[in-house]
Amino acid sequence: MTSRFLKTLLDDASRPFRGGGHFAYHYSRGKLSSDCIFRELLKRGIFPSQGHFLDLGCGQGSLFSWLLAARRLYENGNWPSDWAAAPKPLSLRGFELMQKDVDRAARAFGPQHPVVDIRLGDMCEVDFGQADVVTILDALHYIDHARQQDVIRRIRAALPAGGLFLTRVGDAGAGLRYHICNWVDRTVTFVRGHRLPTLYERKLADWVALLSQHGFQVETLPMSDGKPFANVMLICRVPA
């Protein structure tokens, strides 16, 4: 059941990107199928049952398409019995640095998806407004440590009591796995058209300490799905 369901979910989530061209479709499909974090977010019920979402560094909106497809399947009764209920997105806002990704998102979603709003913007500069969930997947380490602190501070201010900040980081204390993770990260960044960046990583304990200082209760989950990476998902909640 689960393998057939995941194939259906992948097909549904990647379908909007067909209109964005060969790269948009195959990049989204490859990412959604190979990265375990998308599956685990739904299976474990980490998101609230409904809410307003903000994704910083959202790319072309693959996470949003995944959430919308999941909700459609859930409402149609096509959902694994051992998974948590799919969340209901009330709004899906995203900011992305790459104009090409913003353009791909516009072609993928358009007016037929009024809950989706993806704009060009730098997470270090844009107004976050208010949200129930804020996500930064594999992007926080592209900004220096001082700006990391400022972004985290502003995320905390944007969330209500019980709000969720979810991010994935590399554990700089993980030795060889960390270096492999960095090599893959740089390769994907280059393929997407970015210059090779300076990375501002931290050891896992330092990430947790930083987030705790800003008022979050932090849970850590390894998120590499058996691959030799140092990826860790940080589930950061504002105390209710």
Domain that holds residue 95: 2-237
Task: Using the predicted structure, report yes or no on whether residue 7 has a pLDDT greater than 80.
Answer: yes
50-56, strands of its sheet edge to edge: 116-120, 88-96, 50-56, 133-137, 164-170, 231-237, 217-222
Q: Determine how many CB atoms are found less than 10 A away from the CB of residue 183.
A: 10
CATH code of residue 155: 3.40.50.150
Confidence at residue 195, expressed as pLDDT on a 0 to 100 scale:
59
Confidence at residue 170, expressed as pLDDT on a 0 to 100 scale:
85
Confidence at residue 198, expressed as pLDDT on a 0 to 100 scale:
80
The model's pTM: 0.90
Confidence at residue 35, expressed as pLDDT on a 0 to 100 scale:
92
- What would the mean pLDDT of 121-134 be, rounded to a whole number? 98
Tens digit of each residue's pLDDT (9 = 90 or more) over 71-104 = 999 999 999 999 999 999 999 999 999 999 999 9
Tens digit of each residue's pLDDT (9 = 90 or more) over 154-201 = 999 999 999 999 999 988 765 555 545 554 555 565 555 555 568 888
Residues 6+ apart with CB under 8 A from 213: none
Residue 67 · residue 116 · CB < 8 Å: no
Q: Determine how many CB atoms are found less than 10 A away from the CB of residue 148.
A: 20
Residue 94 · residue 15 · CB < 8 Å: no
User: Into how many domains does the chain fold?
Assistant: 1
Residue 45 · residue 80 · CB < 8 Å: no
Task: Using the predicted structure, report yes or no on whether residue 137 has a pLDDT greater than 70.
Answer: yes
